[in-house]
Amino acid sequence: MVRAPADVRLARLLDIVPWIASRDGPALAEVSERFGISEDELVAELNLLFMCGLHPFTPDVLIDVDIADGRVWIRMADYFRRPLRLSPQEGLALESAARAFLNLRGTEPDGALASALAKLETVLGVAPDEALEVELGYAAPDLLESLRHAATHSHKMLLDYYSFGRDGRSERVVRPWNVFSSSGHWYMRGWCERVGDERLFRVDRIIAARELEERFEPPTGTGDPDSRIFDPQPGDPVVVLDLDPPARWIAEQYPNDEVSELPGGVIRVKLRAGRSAWLERVLLKAGPDARVVEGPADLAPAAAERILARYRG
C-alpha cells in the first residue's frame, strides 16, 4: 500500500477530526467511505491523535480517541469545532513569518500565500511597509551573502538601518568586520562612520544594503565574532523593575546588574537602559507583570497613550 504524502494526510486528518468530534460515535465504515480511505488507513491516522493536543501537552489536554465495536469517538478536541481565532500577537507573528517566507527564492510573489497574507494584513490593520518587531531572527540569504562578501574583502557598506532603540531609520556607512549568528539572530559587527564608534547591527533590521567600492583596513582581532551581543555602559540610566513570574523573561533575556527574590514569586531586577524606546517596548510587552520601582514610572503609560492615539486617529 502506497501512503499519501504527509501534507495530504495532514489536510485530510484536519477534516476528519472535527467531523467525527461533532458526531456521537460514527461507524468506521461510514468515515472511511466519506473520506475515501480504507478502515486500516483510517485507524492508523487516528492513532496519531493520541500524541496531539494543546500546550503544555499533559494528558488532560491531549486528544482522546476511542475505537470500539466498529465505531469511533473523538473527545478532548472541542477547539476543532469552531474556527481558529488568533490573538493579535499570534496574528502578527504569522504575518511576519509569511512575509519572510515570501522573500525566499522560488516563492511566487503573487501566489496563494501572497493572497492569504494580504487578507491577514487587512484584518490586522497592518500595512506591508510597516516595521514589526517579531522575534523570528530571519535574514534574507542575498543580504547575508552581500554582508559576508563585504566583510571578507574589507569593503564598506551603505546601510538603511532600523534602530530598535531609537525607533527610527537612518542611512549610514559601515565598515563590516564580521557577520555571525547568536541566540537565533544574525548580527554584523563593525565600525559605524556616522557615530564614529563600533556598533552591532541586527541583520533582520537592515532595510537595504549596498556594497561600496571603497575599501578599509580592518583592525586586528576582528576576524572572530564577539559573543557579547549587548554591552551596557556605566553611564546608562539605571532602572529597577519588579517582575511577576510571567515577566521573568526580562531578567533572563537582557543583561542586568542585580536580581533579587521577593515574596510571592516576584523578582526585582536592576538593569541599565540606554534608550527609552527600548525600555518602552519591554514594558509594553510585559504589561502589568512589570512595575517600575526606580526610573521613569510614566514611560509605559505614555507610550501606550501614543499608540492608542494613532489608532484613534
State yes or no: pLDDT of 137 exceeds 60. Answer: no
CB 111 within 8 A of CB 105: no
pLDDT at 175: 94
Separation of alpha carbons 225 and 294, rounded Å: 35
> What is the pLDDT confidence band of residue 210, given thresholds at 50, 70 and 90?
very high
Long-range contacts of 98-104 (CB under 8 A, 24+ apart): 99/128, 100/136, 100/138, 103/140, 104/141
Separation of alpha carbons 254 and 285, rounded Å: 14
Strands 238-243 and 267-272: antiparallel
Q: Which helix (H) or strand (E) holds 199?
A: strand 197-202
Place of cell 537582557: 254
The structure's pTM equals 0.38
235-289 tens-digit pLDDT: 667 888 898 988 887 877 776 667 888 888 898 988 777 666 667 777 778 888 8
Place of cell 473523538: 74
For 161, residues 6+ apart whose C-beta sits below 8 A from its C-beta are 169, 170, 171, 172, 201, 205, 206, 207
